[in-house]
Amino acid sequence: MLIVMNNNVPLSDILELKEKLIKNHDVEIHESKGQNYHLLGIVGDTSTIDASWIESHHIVERLIRVTSPYKKANRLFKPEDTIIDIDGHKIGGENFGVIAGPCSIEDRESMIDLAKHIKDSGAHFLRGGAFKPRTSPYSFQGLGEEGIEMLCEAKKITGLPIVSEIMSIDKIEYFNDNVDIIQVGARNMQNFMLLKELGKIKTPILLKRGLCATIEELLMAAEYIMSGGNDNVILCERGIRTFESYTRNTLDISAIPVIKKQSHLPVIVDPSHASGEWWLVEPLAKAALAVGADGIMIEVHQDPQNAKSDGQQSIKPDKFDNLMQTIKSMSQILNKTI
């Protein structure tokens, strides 16, 4: 339920209405204010609320029943775009954020060398996998906390905020203390216990779309995090599983404008996992910017042929530099800040 307030309403009248709703009904109220709007979003069991009673108030312009199952992630509840700002690096609104780095952190020297390269090319965030969810139990599983320590050292040298994937609830405190953006991978998108616990912290969460998840299921997963109190959520389209087998996944490019219409949350694209082919990364990255994405996440590696994971979809630093130059040129036309 969404209450649209009249313009120039005294704050004391709005406070009185909020207090009555909270006192008489088991609901939460989320307030959203902009230059030309003032909204009260009511979350919870609204079946006991008399709509005519609300509409009878002189301060209320109209009442809207929100039929979508997601509330806090809904653009109706917050018309303005959410912008995630980490040390001056922004994702959302008119800002296009670039996250880059290796699929897996392999050793200190290569991690720091690559971090310097991607910063020089213009990336805003450094990614690196330390805990790796692999299809095969015999594949490289990552360096764990040792990998996070290498990522933190690279941050100290370059100043780039860091992104890494969490796998389990018991690591939340560690990630909260060491990582700037906590990634929830596609396989954990509906790990609801993990999402609930991540809702209790304030560190931004990068939530990847599940392999076979609908857009609504992705937004409902975000709602789990936001309902716990953490509104700092970034959505990620990384391709979904279809009958097409030429590419690793099928990039649902239409999901970006759909999500932007339905939700205020920023949404980025991962063309590396979407395609599984290094030569497709650049055209898909350009497509992401063209349709209104708020950023991209690119896998970069100095020696893809010998990478311990996902080398076939990683681009080399020189190709990443070329991609950044192209993206910067396109951004001027599309009024995006990179």
User: Where does the pLDDT of residue 221 fall: very low under 50, low under 70, confident under 90, or very high at 90 and above?
Assistant: very high
Q: What's the confidence (pLDDT) of residue 142?
A: 80
> Could you give the CA distance from residue 286 to residue 281 in angstroms, rounded to a whole number?
9
Residue 22 has pLDDT above 90, yes or no: no
> Could you give the CA distance from residue 71 to residue 95 in angstroms, rounded to a whole number?
24
* Tokens 């100095």, residue located: 302
* Tokens 């790990």, residue located: 191
Nearest to 300 by CA among 134, 162, 115, 157: 115
Nearest to 117 by CA among 262, 249, 302: 302
Residue 83 has pLDDT above 90, yes or no: yes
**Residue type for 28, please?**
E
Q: CB-based burial of residue 281 (10 Å sphere; 0-12 exposed, 13-18 middle, 19+ buried)?
A: buried
Q: What's the confidence (pLDDT) of residue 138?
A: 66
Summarize pLDDT for 126-178 with one digit per residue, the tens: 999 999 777 777 677 788 999 999 999 999 999 999 999 999 999 999 999 99
What are the domain boundaries of the chain? Answer: 2-64, 84-334
Q: What's the confidence (pLDDT) of residue 191?
A: 97
Summarize pLDDT for 101-115 with one digit per residue, the tens: 999 999 999 999 999
CATH of the domain spanning 2-64, picked from 3.30.505.50, 3.30.70.1140, 3.40.50.720, 1.20.120.530: 3.30.70.1140
State mean pLDDT over 259-269: 98
Q: What's the confidence (pLDDT) of residue 290?
A: 97
User: Where does the pLDDT of residue 124 fall: very low under 50, low under 70, confident under 90, or very high at 90 and above?
Assistant: very high
> pTM for this structure?
0.91
Q: What's the confidence (pLDDT) of residue 279?
A: 97
Contact between 232 and 189 (Cβ < 8 Å) = no
Sign of torsion over alpha carbons 202, 133, 96, 74: negative
Summarize pLDDT for 41-74 with one digit per residue, the tens: 888 888 788 888 888 888 999 898 888 899 999 9
Q: Are strands 97-101 and 295-299 parallel, antiparallel or unpaired?
A: parallel
Contact between 288 and 90 (Cβ < 8 Å) = no
State mean pLDDT over 281-301: 98
User: Is the CATH number 1.10.10.60 carried by domain 84-334?
Assistant: no
